[in-house]
Amino acid sequence: MKNIIAIDLGSNSLRFLKMNCETKEAIADFHKTVKTADGLATSGIISSEAKTRIVNAINEAKEHIDFSDAKVKAVTTEAIRQAQNGQEILDDIEAQTAIKFEVIDGDAEANYALIATKNRLELLGQKPKSFMLADIGGASTEIVFHHANKTISKSFNIGIVTVTQSFKDIREIANAIPALMNPIKLFCDEVYVEHGKVEMFVATAGTPTTLAAMKLGMEYETYDAHKIHGTILTQKDLVEQLSKLLTMSLEERTKTVGVGREDLIASGVLIYEELYTIGGFLESVVIDDGVREGVAYSGCEG
């Protein structure tokens, strides 16, 4: 088949992309906040409520996207990797929707994100000799250092859902972040010693794209991925947008970042901001492409 539907079940979102493999153009896309990792930090399992949200979202996607003329490649990541009942949940989802998810490890996840990033940077006319890519997810953060002929990646179980649900409030999270993210700092220091500092910081996933959208004056309903690609965010931008978010009413925040993300975004900003400090960056380039796009590109070739 000349079309592929790539599905990425993350720790907070479920994202679909239908692509024409010949032209590499997107035909359709769909995404839904399903909060896969909701409660995982305390219970160690994926809840039946989360499973229902995932099944409903898949059925909704089938109303928006024609599945009849495409092969499907579905992957899932850290939340399912961590959960004691991960395989049982996937079996139930397959029984109810006929969608079979492959649990990928942190290396595969980072590689898919890297494929998508390199492709998007090329489309933006940017060819950095080296860059650090951060994919800030719901239950994990993937860090990829890409030099001309060398790629080093590592997955860390620090994510916006699990961090949010492990602490009482934003102040507790802010105090805990440097220690929580010390493993990332040690990894970064190690790579810099061996290969030198990279010239660009690229960020993907919901937190960076939401902040880029806010900077550009978009709300959740007016979000446009094409305008997000290549947006520059400074550390000062993060501080300003976090300040705005914290002064919003819950209703305003939901309108800005979307339902199911309003209680998580502050944690995401704190994780994101710490990455600037760890890597010694003044700014980052935001792209909307991630694992989903990487799965589509590699699925077309495979």
Q: Considering the chain, what is the average pLDDT of its residues?
A: 91
- In the block, residue with structure tokens 């380039």: 285
Handedness of CA 277, 239, 79, 11 (dihedral sign): negative
Which of 2-11, 27-36, 190-199, 261-270 comes out lowest in average pLDDT? 261-270
Residue 261: pLDDT over 70: no
With CA atoms as reference, report the closest residue to 244 among 266, 216, 263, 224. 266
pLDDT band at 101 (very low <50, low <70, confident <90, very high): very high
pLDDT band at 262 (very low <50, low <70, confident <90, very high): low
Two structure tokens written together for 253: 């925040």
Residue 256: pLDDT over 90: no
Pairing of strands 141-147, 13-20: unpaired
Whole-model pTM: value is 0.85
Residue 213: pLDDT over 90: yes
Two structure tokens written together for 154: 């590592």
- What pLDDT is attached to residue 302? 66
Residue 269: pLDDT over 70: yes
Count of Cβ atoms closer than 10 Å to residue 159 Cβ: 30
Identity of residue 152: I
pLDDT band at 287 (very low <50, low <70, confident <90, very high): very high
- What pLDDT is attached to residue 54? 97
* Max Cα distance, the chain (Å): 51
- Segment 113-132, tens digit of pLDDT: 899 999 899 989 998 999 99
Count of Cβ atoms closer than 10 Å to residue 64 Cβ: 11
Identity of residue 120: R
Q: Which residue(s) pair with 42 in the sheet?
A: none
Percent of the chain with pLDDT over 90: 64
Residue 41: pLDDT over 70: yes
Domains, the chain, in order of start with CATH, read 3-106 (3.30.420.40), 125-291 (3.30.420.150)
